[in-house]
Structure 1
C-alpha cells in the first residue's frame, strides 16, 4: 500500500459528526440480546408507551394504570415498546486483489467498514467489524461509542494478502459467529472459485445481507495499451496479451455482463447489491448514496 493511501484517515472528524446522525436500516426484525435503541415487536420496558392489557395475577403492580382503574373500575397494565440492540457485521475482503488502485480498494473497504461500524456503535448495536480470513479471528465485538478507537486500531492493523476463497472465509465467519443480524460484505468479488456459494451461505443464516462491491476506475476503464504480460496477484497465473481498442471493448462488455449477473443473483435472493467506486468520496457514499439505497437513514 502506498504512503499516500496510508496517510488518508479512515474517518475524518467532519464525517464522524455526520455519521452520528445516521442509523443502519434492517429489512428484517431480529430478536436482540440486550437493551438498545431499536424498536422491537416485543413489549417490554422503555419510555415509549405501546398498549394496554388486562391485569393478570402476578403482574407487576407498578405497571397498573390507576387512573384508568378509577374511571373503569378495572385493572389494566401499561405496556411499553421494547428497545433492542442489533448485531451489525462488516466483513472485509483482504485478498491481494483488493490492494489495487489509488486509493486502494482495500483502504476504501476499511473506510466503509469503519463508517458502518461507527453508526452501529452510536446506536448501541453490537458491532463486529472484521477481516475475512485469519485476521478476522482477533477482531473485537464492540458496543457503544467508546469502542471507536479499538475498532480503528484493529482496522489500521489489517493487511491485504489473505488469499482465502470467499466461500471458505464466509464459512469460517459463520462457524465463529452464531448471531444473526445485518451483514455487509465489502469485497471486489474477484474470486476464481466464484462468489455464489459464499452469498448463499449468508442468506442461509437468515442474515440481512448487503454486498458492497468495490471497484477502482482503473478496472472499469483500464488505461493500458500495447503488449502486456498479465500476472494474477493471488495465484501467479500469467498470460501475454496485446491490448488494443477491440480487446478493451470486449473487456468492458465482459465486465458489464459480470456486474449484471451479480446484480441479478443478489436481487433473486433479497441481497442488497451496492456497487461503489474507489474514487467516490466516503462522505458522499455514506450520507447520500447509502441513504438513497435505503441502507442508512
Structure 2
C-alpha cells in the first residue's frame, strides 16, 4: 500500500478499528448462493475435497458420487456429500448526491466510513463486495472485489468519492437492479431526501433477490434545526431558492413531517422483508457498525 493509500485509509478506518472489524461477518436471512466459492458452506452433492456425510441413493442422483466401497460391504447404495462453499455478495449503494454534503458531522463522510467498514468486513471474510455510488445515476462502482488484498483498492475508491449532482434515486436503483441480478445483501446508505419519493427507487431492491438494509443518515441540524426569523434557503442540489419565515409552529410542523416520512419508509421496507435503521451523524460511525448494525442483524 502506498503512503497516499495509507493516508486515505486512516481517514476512513484506523488500524485499531479494523482489528475489531476482523471479528465480524455478514449475516443474511436468505439463502444467497454465489457463483464463486467463499467461506459459507453447506452439505451438497458435489466435488469439493472436504467430505461431509452420506445419504441414501435415490433415482436420478449422479452415479459418480456413489461410494462403491460401502456398496461392496453393505450391498446398499450411498451417496457421498461434500462441504461445498457458498459465496455471499454484498452490494453497498452509497448516496453521493450533493444533499449528503451537509451537516456537522458531515453526512457524506459518515456514510463513506460506514461503507468502508462494511466493505472491509465483506472482503476479509472473502465475500464478493461491490460498492455502487449513486447520484443522478450510477456514478461509479468497484465491481466485484474479493479478499483482504482488495481492501486498499476498496478504501481508495470510497475515499475518492465526492458529493455531486442531484439524486435521481429511482433511475439509479433501476439501473443497479438490471445490471446486478445475483442475489445478495443490499445495504443502502442515504439521507433519502428524494424529491420523487423513496418508493420509486426502493421498489427495485426491496424483496426478491436482495436482503435489504436501509440506513437513513441525517445530521443533527436536520433533525432539530436551530433556525429562526426571515431567511432565504437554497436547495443544495438544484439551487432553488425559497424565502421562509421560520417560527416555532413551522419548526414543529417540519419535525412532524420528517417523522412521518421516516416512519413511512420504515413501514415500506419492513413490509417487504427488509430492515430499516435511522441514525444521526452525531452517533459515531463505529458505534453504528459495532452496535446498531449488529443489533439489527446485518453483522454477527
Contact 1:53/1:78 (<8 A) preserved: no
Question: How far is 1:7 from its partner?
Answer: 10
Candidates 17, 24, 27, aligned match of 1:25: 27
Question: How far is 1:46 from its partner?
Answer: 5.6
Q: How does 1:133-172 map to 2 (within 5 A)?
A: 133=135, 136-172=139-175
1:174 counterpart residue number: 177
Q: Give me the whole-angstrom Cα distance separating, in 2, the residues matched to 1:272 and 1:280.
A: 19
Q: Give me the whole-angstrom Cα distance separating, in 1, the residues matched to 2:211 and 2:185.
A: 5
TM-score for both structures, normalised by structure 2: 0.88
Q: Is 1:281 aligned to 2:292, yes or no? A: no
Mean CA deviation greater in 36-45 or 241-250: 36-45
C-alpha spacing 1:262/1:41, structure 2 compared with 1 (3 Å)? farther
Contact 2:138/2:176 (<8 A) preserved: no
Q: How does 1:163-202 map to 2 (within 5 A)?
A: 163-202=166-205
Candidates 266, 269, 273, aligned match of 2:269: 266
TM-score for both structures, normalised by structure 1: 0.89
Q: Give me the whole-angstrom Cα distance separating, in 2, the residues matched to 1:119 and 1:292.
A: 16
Q: Give me the whole-angstrom Cα distance separating, in 2, the residues matched to 1:270 and 1:54.
A: 37
C-alpha spacing 1:110/1:49, structure 2 compared with 1 (3 Å)? same
Candidates 210, 227, 231, aligned match of 2:213: 210
- 1:241-285 superposed Cα distances (whole Å, 9 cap, x missing partner): 222222211111111111111111112111210112111112211
1:36 counterpart residue number: 38
Q: Is 1:59 aligned to 2:59, yes or no? A: no
Question: How far is 1:205 from its partner?
Answer: 5.5
Contact 2:51/2:80 (<8 A) preserved: no
C-alpha spacing 1:57/1:120, structure 2 compared with 1 (3 Å)? closer
- 1:106-126 superposed Cα distances (whole Å, 9 cap, x missing partner): 111111111111111112111
2:134 counterpart residue number: 132
Candidates 102, 119, 122, aligned match of 1:120: 122
**Match of 1:9, SS?**
helix
C-alpha spacing 1:7/1:296, structure 2 compared with 1 (3 Å)? closer
1:108 counterpart residue number: 110
1:231 counterpart residue number: 234
Gaps of at least 5 residues in structure 2 are 1-7
1:77 counterpart residue number: 79
1:88 counterpart residue number: 90
**Match of 1:102, SS?**
coil
C-alpha spacing 1:40/1:32, structure 2 compared with 1 (3 Å)? farther
Question: How far is 1:79 from its partner?
Answer: 0.7
Q: Is 1:293 aligned to 2:296, yes or no? A: yes
- 1:51-88 superposed Cα distances (whole Å, 9 cap, x missing partner): 42339784157xx385x557634353331232111111
**Match of 2:38, SS?**
strand
Number of residue pairs matched by the alignment: 289
**Match of 1:21, SS?**
coil
2:224 counterpart residue number: 221
